[in-house]
Amino acid sequence: MAKLALMGGEKTVTRPLGKRWPIWDEREEQAALDVVRSGVWWRGGCADPQQSKVVQFEDAWARFHDAEHCVAVTNGTQAIGCALKAAGVEAGDEVLVPALTFVASATAIALVNGVPVFVDVDQNTYNIDPDAMEAAISDKTRAAVIVHNGGYPCDMDRIAEIARRRGIAIVEDCAHAHGSQWKGKGVGALAGGLGTFSFQAGKALTCGEGGAIVTNDQELAEKAYSFHHIGRISGRPFYEFHRVASNLRMTEWQGGILLTQLARLEEQTATRERNAAYLAAGLREIEGVDPIDRDPRVTRWGFYYWNFHYRQEQFGGVPRDRFLQAVNAEGAPIGVGAHGQPIYQNPLFINMNFGRTGCPVKCPLYGKEVDYRKVHCPTAERLHATQALCIGHPAFLGETTEDMDLILAAIRKVRANVGELTR
Ligand SMILES: Cc1ncc(COP(=O)(O)O)c(C=O)c1O
């Protein structure tokens, strides 16, 4: 039996897997050059708005996600805030958010003076648990930011039904879910609300920094446009302002690069899905690691990282983090899944660090007591501590399944040496 790399044996994976991210060639170089030479560096600089790279990207991105409208913005955090403002969230409103996500899903709520309320997650998908979400709705709840964690779509049938029946707005945080589909339709505009994207450097569609909001609702689209454009209203005089709002406009450089990157996304998503399906089949053959049990309504899974499960009790009792040490020593690029610790465990929330006045959580308009130190989402805490694993999307970009075989070989080797890890 081969000796574990952790114990001084040979590594299983001795080269980088997949592709180096981001991927570019002369098309991106030309896109950047075209913008430089055009002298039009912002979306408002074209006599014909359709000539703007940002406007062209908005049209293409809306189409790609089966939405009617898109507003491109500076980043994914601002996209969530802008969407929440368009949905009518104001001081004193509660907004539900899953415990497992990136912290920006919650800070974006506080940034618009909403009060984040943490909701537990589902143990198969790592997404917000629809039952827990419904149970958390109070007379103060205005909206929910639901996150397609790792790009795996939430149960949008249940979420849309709860939102309709209970009268709350849904913002789908699709920062991980470029190209993901639920029952054949792109995520983002599936619940009558708005969806937000991040195009930050590591994301499956990127221009370094950037974001977007999609919706099928014309009124919400007009509000989002206004909130991203210092409160202007399209069709009205340029120096007339209607709302307290910031400048969240995307630059033409970003628009140009996103258009070229988008031309690659369909094929890259197919490659990732092909490799992920192969890996999932291989994992099913190894006791103690499982892929997400995929819902047939998830018709496309575009991912930023691919979540899967570790089962300590089926893996000789080896704790998840010890397993990770061993597979990482073998060279397999596996990490803690679902974006890490429950976000309420961050110092921001533990220290109730909301500044001198304590707003928004101590806002008199809210009038309720919040103490984030008392928040416990038991499933999220357990999944984070013992179960969640993930692999980043660039590892899935190989032309053949060879890289997946290497990951599987590393896991199998650790599995075969499980006794070494419990000693
Ligand atoms: C779930 C989620 N929401 C929002 C964001 C924020 O996006 P950005 O970094 O573009 O502001 C991220 C970034 O990683 C994220 O993972």
In tens, the pLDDT along 333-342 reads 999 999 999 9
Residue nearest to atom 14 of ligand 1 (CA): 102
Query: What integer best gives the mean pLDDT of the chain?
Result: 97
pTM equals 0.98
Q: Shortest CA distance to 129 belongs to which of 161, 158, 172?
A: 158
- Our CA angle for 86, 102, 157, nearest 5°, is 60
Ligand 1 center to residue 100 CA distance, Å? 13
Q: Which atom of ligand 1 is nearest to the CA of 105?
A: 3
| Mutation pick for ligand 1 pocket among 77, 78, 127, 206 (CB with most ligand atoms within 8 Å) | 77
Residue 165 CA to its chain's centroid (Å): 26
Query: Distance between CA atoms of 359 and 352, rounded to whole angstroms?
Result: 10
d(CA 158, CA 181): 15
284 is annotated as an active-site residue: no
Active site residue 239: yes
What's the pLDDT score for residue 414? Answer: 98
Q: Across residues 239-253, what is the average pLDDT?
A: 98
Q: Phi and psi at residue 335, in whole multiples of 5°?
A: -135, 180
Q: Clarify whether 123 is annotated catalytic.
A: no
Q: Which candidate in 69, 203, 223, 320 is catalytic? A: 203
Tell me which of 187, 200, 250, 346 to substitute to probe ligand 1's pocket, judged by most ligand atoms within 8 Å of the beta carbon.
Answer: 200
- Rounded to the nearest angstrom, the distance between the alpha carbon of 281 and the centre of ligand 1 is 30
| Total residue length of the chain | 423
The preferred substitution site among 147, 198, 206, 250 for testing ligand 1, maximizing ligand atoms within 8 Å of CB, is 198
77: alpha, beta or left? (left if phi > 0; alpha if psi -120 to 50): alpha
Ligand 1 pocket test, pick from 73, 80, 102, 213 with the greatest ligand atom count within 8 Å of Cβ, gives 102
Task: Give the ligand 1 atom nearest the CA of 101.
Answer: 1
- Cα separations (Å) of 87 from 75, 172, 232? 18, 12, 17
- 375-406: per-residue pLDDT in tens? 999 999 999 999 999 999 999 999 999 999 99
- Among 120, 129, 155, 173, the active-site one is 173
Statement: residue 190 has pLDDT above 90: yes
pLDDT in tens, 291-316: 999 999 999 999 999 999 999 999 99
Which pLDDT value is given to residue 87? 98
pLDDT above 90 (res 107) = yes
pLDDT at residue 317 above 80? yes
Q: Looking at residue 275, what is its pLDDT?
A: 98
Q: What percent of the chain has pLDDT over 90?
A: 98
> Domain 26-261 falls in which CATH fold?
Aspartate Aminotransferase; domain 2 (3.40.640)
Strand 181-182 with 185-186, pairing:
antiparallel
Residue 95 forms beta bridges with which residues?
116, 143
> Residue 105 Cα, ligand 1 centroid: separation in angstroms?
7
Catalytic residue among 148, 178, 229, 249: 249
What is the average per-residue pLDDT within 408-418?
97
The pLDDT of residue 1: 76
Q: How confident is the model at residue 189 (pLDDT cuts 50, 70, 90)?
A: very high
Q: How far is the CA of 350 from the centre of ligand 1 (A)?
A: 21
Answer for the pair 203, 21: CB distance below 8 angstroms, yes or no.
no
pLDDT in tens, 320-354: 999 999 999 999 999 999 999 999 999 999 999 99
Strands, sheet with 185-186, edge to edge from the N-terminal-most edge strand: 185-186, 181-182, 298-300
Active site residue 223: no
Average pLDDT estimate for 125-144: 98
Provide the residue ranges of all domains of the chain, joining segments of one domain with +.
26-261
Q: What is the 211 CA–ligand 1 centroid distance (Å)?
A: 9
Cα–Cα distance for residue pair 301/306, rounded to 1 Å: 9
Find out whether 331 and 12 touch, Cβ atoms under 8 Å.
Answer: yes
The pLDDT of residue 423 is 76
Q: Which of 65, 148, 223, 232 is catalytic?
A: 232
Q: How far apart are CA 317 and CA 269, in angstroms?
A: 35
Question: In degrees, to the nearest 5, what angle opens at C-alpha 241 toward C-alphas 239 and 244?
Answer: 140
H-helix or E-strand containing 321?
helix 320-329
Residue among 399, 210, 388, 182 nearest 302 (CA): 182
Q: What is the pLDDT of residue 218?
A: 98
* 305 alpha carbon – ligand 1 mean position (Å): 13
- Answer yes or no: 200 catalytic: yes
How far is Cα 173 from Cα 188, in angstroms, rounded to an integer? 8
Residue 245 corresponds to which amino acid?
Answer: A
Distance 174 CA to ligand 1 centre (A): 9
The fraction of the chain above a pLDDT of 70, given in percent, is: 100
Nearest ligand 1 atom to alpha carbon 147 = 1
Measured from CB, residues less than 6 Å from any atom of ligand 1 are 75-77, 101-102, 104-105, 147, 173, 175-176, 198, 200, 211
Beta strand 141-147 pairing with 305-310: unpaired
Q: Which ligand 1 atom minimizes the distance to the CA of 198?
A: 10
Residue-level pLDDT at 245:
98
Q: In whole angstroms, what is the distance from residue 340 CA to residue 329 CA?
A: 20
CA angle 72, 143, 151 (to 5 degrees): 55
Ligand 1 midpoint to CA 104 (Å): 6
Q: Is 185 a catalytic residue?
A: no
Q: Could you tell me if 378 and 372 are in contact, meaning their C-beta atoms sit under 8 angstroms apart?
A: no
Q: Kindly indicate the confidence band of residue 63, based on its pLDDT and cuts at 50, 70 and 90.
A: very high
Amino acid of residue 62 = A
Closest residue by Cα to atom 10, ligand 1, is 76
